[in-house]
């Protein structure tokens, strides 16, 4: 049943006044925003599956959850890029601790569907488990199940089998819609169990298509969007829906397609990946640009960026357009980038933020789209090995601020206040009178200026290409802040006192002024924090630096509660952890991470991580006497600011030792290249028509791998013919993604290898790659009788379909075969991947002999393989496998993140697929790069036990081939972590 407007109002009750009035959107929507009637107030509490119904509405300022304003500070992660469900806890807890209140996920159709009408949501694909984990972590979830996600995955998420199916994808073509509906039925059955509206989960928003800009003004597009909208509603998804507009086109604003009469439940969202070297653009409500200005396209919905670039993807390396590795993405989009761009978004009225990516993860197996390699680290705030980076500092500070300073949920533009040399934005909250100033430095040098605030000319310095936020007229508990040059991070009550945290850069002197009719009593807990009282103003200065948390306690009096002022530089701010519990709020300071906090009896039970030894300090509700850290009692004393302080530091992480890798066993394969290989079980390639966008060459059978049900990884062809007497050369036309290649043999003798040209900066965006290998046949190979031409194509992945042109349907594999000098009739057989691995899924394996025979699996009997040492230097065309096992004994309670490093002379033309305990952890291409380190996620990696490593090495004949140096590396370690359940890794 489609939910009607009436049922929404009933559901929403009076609390969703904003929904009923303000969010109706579309042409002619009421100009009087409900916002006027939804005052600034405390945000909704941390979300959980609390069993109670909730309303989710919005007005043009912000989301309204149960009628309370919510600023969404969301980070993107893709569960399918972290194939170890226990580690979802880790990443989500880190996001939550670092100030995010939401996680946004893509759900990739191809990851869950190995064949038409077959769907798998078990094991590493357990969406239900992910949604439960997010709810238990206290995060809202934004769900984005495509059908098309892009996201640098194979086919943009469209399943491989769809390439061989009728119907134009991403249109209202009924043949396509039938499949889409099946997919959505499966996803929605799970998602609808976790809706925040029902209190059974924390799903807050739902995206129905991604960057859909090709058929905007055509029925094929409008009907498609209307179909998706209605389908999702029919499936019981009752939270606001949205689309992510590619850039700022004003596409799919409210009213632009038929939502079945339903109004006010559709948000306009747009994405942005601005160049870090450019001036941050004004894309929110306060910018100009109308339909193409971002949020200005939809004045009645809140400013919403479903994807804002928090990094960027890196292409394969190569000669002319070299992927530089993710350190470069993190360098160009560093912490200052995040601060400069996010504060600009905030200053433009964006209140729904999602950063793409916050944890990028790994495009393991055959997941990556042709444009990227295995690592999808993205230069994100949390790196691929789950380690926090400096980029978390601004995210942490801004995220906590947006959740704990309610004034930010409702801001209007205010008259300009200038500071020479800086770009300034001035906003004010119409209810509280608080003022917000964002000052941005667009120059390459630090700028020192003055900003007139509250009758004072405040000196301000903004570092080069950075930004700062200042406030005035803000309530700090019962006291009022006249101004602050430091950025507020937290306002909270802990026990008897209010606590306010302010942040700035190490090395700067920050100042603030509190209004006080009479001079308050002050306890200077740090001699460096100074103050003067003069005519109703208490002016405080604090020199930030050294990772110190500076404190000053303004004592309570008859009218005011005590106010603890805390000042933190970057390093200190990311060790401050606010938490709310049913018995009151806590502020924890010291360790590298706080995962969970609970109050029981008179004790506060904390779990978290330490790397270095760290002190522990807790401000909490009255009656707290004891502190327990990771299950162990901590001896504490009470400080002058009413905190419990650990008597001794919490220990850091002990050194983690990793074993060397040795004991390798080797075995060559590709028997398929030999003339006598039995291919009678292979599919005959005899089709004459295809749904591919690649034309079937005249007079040839269809050779495209997808048409025979082979969608991922390598594919073999064997062509049998009679009489090669006149053949001078074989011409093999083929089509692959970036970095594809082809190898051919005639009667078991190598004819050569052909590689797809390496894309350069002009051609990288062209997508599919097609070329023809012309391989000469030497005279001694020409003879009458039976001959077999064997061809192996590493076809890489399907193109994405960003422009809705069915580009995922471009052929993969051989497209045509012909000969010069003769034209024998060839009978082709084809073999790709075997039936999908029931646990690891359809994208784990391609069609190499060893993969079909289970050589990648733990327990495969390799005792009779040749014992070898690395480095290797072999000359051979074809596939060689190397296997070894290695034990790990990481102590319990230690989270060690481990990677595999492969290095060699970069001129050697070979590549390797890396199988850990049977899981395909990616593809190393020695002479292309740039990736040399492959993350081995715990769970798949047995950190206490034995692991099986198998390398499937594909070597060209032109150079010597490795592997060269292969070793384990420690990507990070912490005392703490999450309990890790082993990921099922069936063997032989
Ligand atoms: C966006 C797209 C994402 C991803 C991103 C680049 O345009 O919506 O799915 O592809 O670009 O990483």
DSSP 535-576: TTEEEEEEE--TTPEEEEEE---SS---EEEEEE-HHHHTTE
Per the CB < 8 A criterion, the answer to whether 209 and 59 are in contact is no
Please provide the distance, in angstroms rounded to a whole number, between the alpha carbons at the two ends of the chain: 48
Q: Which residues of 818-849 are buried (b: 16+ CB within 10 A; e: fewer)?
A: bbeeeebebebbbbbbeebbebbbbbbbbbbb
Name residue, tokens 């045509």: 816
Mean of pLDDT values over 534-542:
96
Report the SS3 class of residue 830. Answer: strand
In the chain, what percentage of residues exceed pLDDT 70? 95
Q: Is 150 in the pocket of ligand 1 (CB under 6 A)?
A: yes
Among 211, 214, 273, 375, the mutation site with the greatest number of ligand 1 atoms within 8 A of its Cβ is 211
Q: Measured from the CA of 800, which atom of ligand 1 is nearest? A: 10
pLDDT in tens, 448-497: 999 999 789 999 999 999 999 999 999 999 999 999 999 999 999 999 99
Q: Is ligand 1 within 6 A of the CB of residue 169?
A: no
Percent of the chain with pLDDT over 90: 91
Q: What pLDDT does residue 321 have?
A: 53
Q: Name which residue sits closest to atom 5 of ligand 1, judged by CA.
A: 151
Which ranges constitute the DSSP H helices of 508-663?
570-573
CA distance 916 to 897: 15
For the Cβ of 210 lying below 6 angstroms from any atom of ligand 1, the answer is yes
- In this prediction, residues 33-49 reach a mean pLDDT of 83
Instruction: Calculate how far, in angstroms, residue 339's C-alpha sits from the geometric centre of ligand 1.
Output: 21
Which residue puts its alpha carbon closest to atom 4 of ligand 1?
A: 151
Residue 811: predicted pLDDT: 97
pLDDT band at 167 (very low <50, low <70, confident <90, very high): very high
Each residue of 95-150: pLDDT tens digit? 999 999 999 999 999 999 999 999 999 999 999 999 999 999 999 999 999 999 99
Give CA separation, 648 vs 146, 614, 616, 635, in Å: 51, 9, 9, 8
Residue 318: pLDDT band with limits 50, 70, 90: low
**pLDDT higher than threshold 70 for residue 37:** yes
pLDDT in tens, 604-645: 999 999 999 999 999 999 999 999 999 999 999 999 999 999
pLDDT score recorded for residue 22? 32
Query: Is the pLDDT assigned to residue 400 strictly greater than 80?
Result: yes
267 CA → ligand 1 middle, Å: 19
Q: How confident is the model at residue 27 (pLDDT cuts 50, 70, 90)?
A: very low
- Using DSSP bridges, classify how beta strands 584-589 and 617-619 pair: parallel, antiparallel or unpaired: antiparallel
With a 6 Å cutoff on the Cβ, whether 313 touches ligand 1 is: yes
Q: Which of 152, 154, 305, 765 to mutate to test the pocket of ligand 1 (most atoms within 8 A of CB)?
A: 152
Res. 865: pLDDT tops 90: yes
Identify the pLDDT of residue 290.
85
Structure tokens given for 909: 């033309």
DSSP of 562-621, one letter per residue? -EEEEEE-HHHHTTEEEEEETTEEEEEESSSEEEEEEEETTEEEEEEEBSS-B--EEE--
Residue 1, pLDDT > 90, answer no
> What is the DSSP-derived secondary structure letter of residue 195?
B
Q: How far is residue 148's CA from residue 914's CA, in Å, rounded to a whole number?
A: 28
Which of 18-27, 707-716, 832-841, 915-924 is least confident?
18-27
Q: Residue 15 pLDDT more than 60?
A: no
Cα dihedral 220/222/227/229 (nearest 10):
150
pLDDT exceeds 70 at position 32: no
Average pLDDT for 78-101: 98
pLDDT surpasses 60 at 29 = no
What mean pLDDT comes out for the span 159-184? 98
User: In the structure, what pLDDT confidence band is assigned to residue 773 with cuts at 50, 70 and 90?
Assistant: very high
* Cα distances (Å, whole numbers) of residue 597 to 580, 583, 630: 8, 11, 10
Which of ligand 1's atoms lies nearest the C-alpha of 151? Answer: 9
- Please answer whether residues 305 and 352 qualify as being in contact, where contact means their C-beta atoms are separated by less than 8 angstroms: yes
- CA distances to 40, 409, 506, 604, 811 from 484, in Å: 21, 19, 16, 33, 61
Report how far ligand 1's centroid is from the alpha carbon of 375 (Å): 16
Quote the radius of gyration of the chain (alpha carbons, Å). 30
The answer, yes or no, to whether residue 735 has pLDDT greater than 70, is yes
Query: Are the C-beta atoms of 760 and 320 separated by less than 8 Å?
Result: yes
Q: Is the CB of 149 under 6 A from ligand 1?
A: yes
Nearest atom, ligand 1, residue 210 CA: 8
Confidence of residue 759 (pLDDT cuts 50, 70, 90): low
Asked whether 801 lines ligand 1 (CB < 6 A), one says: no
Question: What is the per-residue pLDDT across 261-317, written as a single tens digit (0 to 9) for each?
Answer: 999 999 999 999 999 999 999 999 998 888 889 999 999 999 999 999 999 999 998
Q: By the 8 A CB rule, do 679 and 718 touch?
A: yes
> pTM of the predicted model, to two decimals?
0.96
Assign 324 a pLDDT band (cuts: 50, 70, 90): confident
Residue 814, classed as helix, strand or coil, is: strand
Question: In the block, which residue shows the tokens 């107030």?
Answer: 41
User: For the segment 56-77, what is each residue's pLDDT rounded down to a tens digit?
Assistant: 999 999 999 999 999 999 999 9
Ligand 1 centroid, distance to 154 Cα (angstroms): 13
pLDDT tier at 764, thresholds 50, 70, 90: low
Whether 690 is in the pocket of ligand 1, judged by its Cβ within 6 Å, is no
Residue 436 has pLDDT above 80, yes or no: yes
Q: Is the CB of 152 under 6 A from ligand 1?
A: yes
Q: Which residues are catalytic?
A: 211, 307
Between the CA of 537 and the centroid of ligand 1 the distance, in Å, is 50
pLDDT band at 3 (very low <50, low <70, confident <90, very high): very low
Residue nearest (by alpha carbon) to ligand 1 atom 7:
246
- Beta strands 102-106 and 140-144, pairing class: parallel
Separation of 924 CA from ligand 1 center, angstroms?
A: 24
3-state secondary structure of 510: strand
Instruction: Give how far Cα 679 sits from Cα of 293, 746, 790, 831, Å.
Output: 59, 15, 11, 9
Average pLDDT of span 70-93: 98
Task: Output DSSP code: residue 614.
Answer: B
797 φ, ψ to 5°? -110, 175
Cβ atoms 176, 224 nearer than 8 A: no
User: 305: CA distance to ligand 1 center in Å?
Assistant: 12
Are 960 and 757 contacting, i.e. CB atoms less than 8 angstroms apart?
A: no
User: Which protein residue's CA is at the shortest distance from atom 6 of ligand 1?
Assistant: 151
Residue 150 CA, closest ligand 1 atom number? 9
Strands (DSSP E) contained in 310-446 are 350-359, 412-413, 423-428, 435-440
Mean of pLDDT values over 681-688: 98
Ligand 1 center from residue 211 Cα (angstroms): 8
Atom 9 of ligand 1, nearest CA residue: 151
CB 146 within 8 A of CB 112: no
Q: 151 CA to middle of ligand 1, Å?
A: 5
Q: Is the pLDDT of residue 890 over 50?
A: yes
> 211 in ligand 1 pocket by Cβ < 6 Å?
yes
Instruction: Check pocket membership of 307 for ligand 1, CB cut-off 6 A.
Output: yes
Residue 766 is predicted with a pLDDT of 55
Q: Report the nearest atom of ligand 1 relative to the CA of 246.
A: 7
Q: Is 377 in the pocket of ligand 1 (CB under 6 A)?
A: no
Lowest mean pLDDT among 28-32, 161-165, 536-540, 934-938: 28-32
The pLDDT of 390-395, averaged and rounded, is: 98
Burial class of residue 52 in the structure, from the number of CB atoms within 10 Å of its CB (0-12 exposed, 13-18 middle, 19+ buried):
exposed
Asked if residue 380 has its Cβ within 6 Å of ligand 1, the reply is no
Query: Is residue 8's pLDDT more than 60?
Result: no
Q: Which residue has the tokens 């069993």?
A: 51
Q: Is the pLDDT of residue 25 over 90?
A: no
359 Cα to the center of ligand 1, angstroms: 14
């Amino acid at each position: 049943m489609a939910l009607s407007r009436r049922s929404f109002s009933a559901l929403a009750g009076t609390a969703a006044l904003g929904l009923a009035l303000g969010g109706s959107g579309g042409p002619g929507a009421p100009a009087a925003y409900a916002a006027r009637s939804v005052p600034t107030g405390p945000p909704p509490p941390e979300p959980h599956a609390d069993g109670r119904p909730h309303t989710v509405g919005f007005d043009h300022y912000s989301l309204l959850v149960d009628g309370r304003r919510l600023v969404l500070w969301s980070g993107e992660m893709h569960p399918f890029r972290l194939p170890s469900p226990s580690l979802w806890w880790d990443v989500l807890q880190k996001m939550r601790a670092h100030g995010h209140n939401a996680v946004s996920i893509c759900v990739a159709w191809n990851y869950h569907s190995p064949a038409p009408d077959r769907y798998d949501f078990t094991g590493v694909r357990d969406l239900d488990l992910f949604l439960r984990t997010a709810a238990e972590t206290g995060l809202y979830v934004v769900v984005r199940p495509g059908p098309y996600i892009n996201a640098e995955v194979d086919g943009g998420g469209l399943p491989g089998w769809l390439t061989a199916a009728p119907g134009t994808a991403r249109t209202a073509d009924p043949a396509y819609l039938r499949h889409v509906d099946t997919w959505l039925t499966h996803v929605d059955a799970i998602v609808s169990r976790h809706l925040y509206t029902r209190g059974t989960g924390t799903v807050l928003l739902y995206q129905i298509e991604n960057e859909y800009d090709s058929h905007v003004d055509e029925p094929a597009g409008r009907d498609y969007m209307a179909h998706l909208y209605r389908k999702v509603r029919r499936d019981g998804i009752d939270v606001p829906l949205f689309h992510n507009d590619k850039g700022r086109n004003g596409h799919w604003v409210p009213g632009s397609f038929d939502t079945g009469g339903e109004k006010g439940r559709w948000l306009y969202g747009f994405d942005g990946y601005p160049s870090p070297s450019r001036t941050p653009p004004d894309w929110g409500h306060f910018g100009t640009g109308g339909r193409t200005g971002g949020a200005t396209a939809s004045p009645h919905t809140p400013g919403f960026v479903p994807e804002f670039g928090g990094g960027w993807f890196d292409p394969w390396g190569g000669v002319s357009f070299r992927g530089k590795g993710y350190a470069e993405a993190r360098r160009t989009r560093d912490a200052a980038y995040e601060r400069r761009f996010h504060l600009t978004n905030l200053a433009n009225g964006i209140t729904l933020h999602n950063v793409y990516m916050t944890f990028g993860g790994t495009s393991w197996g055959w997941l990556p789209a042709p444009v990227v390699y295995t690592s999808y680290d993205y230069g994100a705030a949390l790196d691929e090995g789950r380690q926090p980076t400096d980029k978390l500092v601004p995210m942490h500070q801004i995220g906590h601020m947006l959740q704990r300073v309610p004034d930010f949920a409702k801001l209007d533009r205010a008259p300009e206040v200038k500071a020479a040399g800086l770009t300034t934005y001035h906003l004010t909250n119409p209810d509280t009178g608080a003022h917000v100033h964002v000052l941005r430095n667009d120059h390459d040098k630090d700028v020192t200026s003055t900003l007139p605030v509250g009758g004072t000319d405040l000196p301000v310095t903004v570092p080069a290409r950075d930004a700062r936020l200042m406030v005035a007229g803000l309530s700090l508990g019962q006291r009022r802040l006249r101004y602050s040059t430091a950025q507020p991070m937290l306002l909270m009550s802990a026990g008897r006192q209010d606590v306010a945290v302010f942040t700035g850069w190490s090395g700067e002197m920050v100042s603030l002024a509190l209004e006080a009719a009479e001079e308050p009593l002050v306890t200077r807990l740090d001699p460096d924090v100074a103050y003067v009282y003069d005519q109703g103003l208490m002016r405080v200065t604090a020199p930030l630096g050294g990772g110190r948390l500076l404190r000053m306690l303004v004592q309570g009096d008859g009218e005011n509660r005590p106010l603890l002022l805390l000042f933190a530089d970057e390093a200190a701010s990311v060790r401050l952890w606010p938490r709310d519990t049913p018995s009151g709020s806590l502020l924890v300071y010291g360790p590298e991470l706080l995962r969970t906090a609970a109050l029981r009896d008179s004790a506060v039970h904390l779990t978290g991580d330490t790397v270095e030894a760290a002190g522990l300090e807790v401000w909490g509700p009255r009656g707290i006497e004891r502190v327990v850290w990771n299950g162990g009692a901590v001896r504490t004393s009470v400080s002058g600011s009413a905190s419990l302080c650990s008597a001794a530091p919490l220990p850091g992480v002990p050194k983690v030792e990793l074993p060397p890798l040795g004991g390798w066993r080797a075995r060559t394969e590709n028997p398929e290249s030999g003339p006598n290989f039995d291919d009678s079980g292979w599919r005959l390639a005899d089709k004459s028509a295809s749904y591919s966008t690649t034309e079937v060459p005249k007079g040839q059978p269809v050779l495209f791998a997808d048409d025979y049900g082979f969608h991922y990884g390598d594919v073999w062809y064997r062509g049998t013919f009679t009489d090669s007497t006149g053949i001078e050369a074989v011409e093999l036309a083929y089509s692959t993604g970036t970095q594809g290649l082809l190898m051919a043999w005639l009667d078991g003798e190598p004819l050569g290898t052909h590689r797809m040209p390496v894309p350069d900066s002009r051609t990288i965006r062209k997508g599919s790659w097609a070329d023809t290998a012309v391989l000469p046949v030497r005279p001694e190979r020409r003879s009458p009788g039976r001959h077999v031409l064997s061809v192996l194509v590493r076809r890489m992945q399907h193109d994405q379909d960003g422009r809705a042109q069915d580009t995922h349907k471009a052929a993969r594999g051989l497209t045509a075969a012909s000969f010069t000098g003769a034209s024998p009739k060839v009978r082709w057989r084809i073999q790709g991947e075997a039936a999908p691995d029931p646990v690891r899924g359809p994208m784990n394996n391609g069609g190499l002999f060893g993969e079909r025979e289970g050589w990648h699996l733990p327990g495969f009997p390799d005792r009779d393989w040749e014992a070898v040492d690395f480095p290797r230097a072999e000359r051979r065309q074809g596939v060689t496998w190397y296997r070894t096992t290695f034990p790990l004994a990481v102590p319990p309670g230690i989270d060690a993140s481990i990677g595999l490093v492969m290095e060699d002379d970069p001129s050697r033309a070979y590549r390797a697929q890396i199988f850990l305990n049977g899981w395909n952890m990616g593809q190393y291409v020695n002479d292309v790069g740039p990736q040399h380190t492959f993350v081995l996620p715990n769970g798949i990696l047995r950190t206490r036990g034995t692991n099986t490593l198998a390398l499937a090495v594909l070597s060209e004949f032109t150079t010597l081939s490795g592997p060269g140096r292969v070793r384990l590396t420690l990507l990070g370690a912490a005392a703490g972590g999450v309990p890790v359940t082993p990921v099922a890794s069936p063997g032989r």
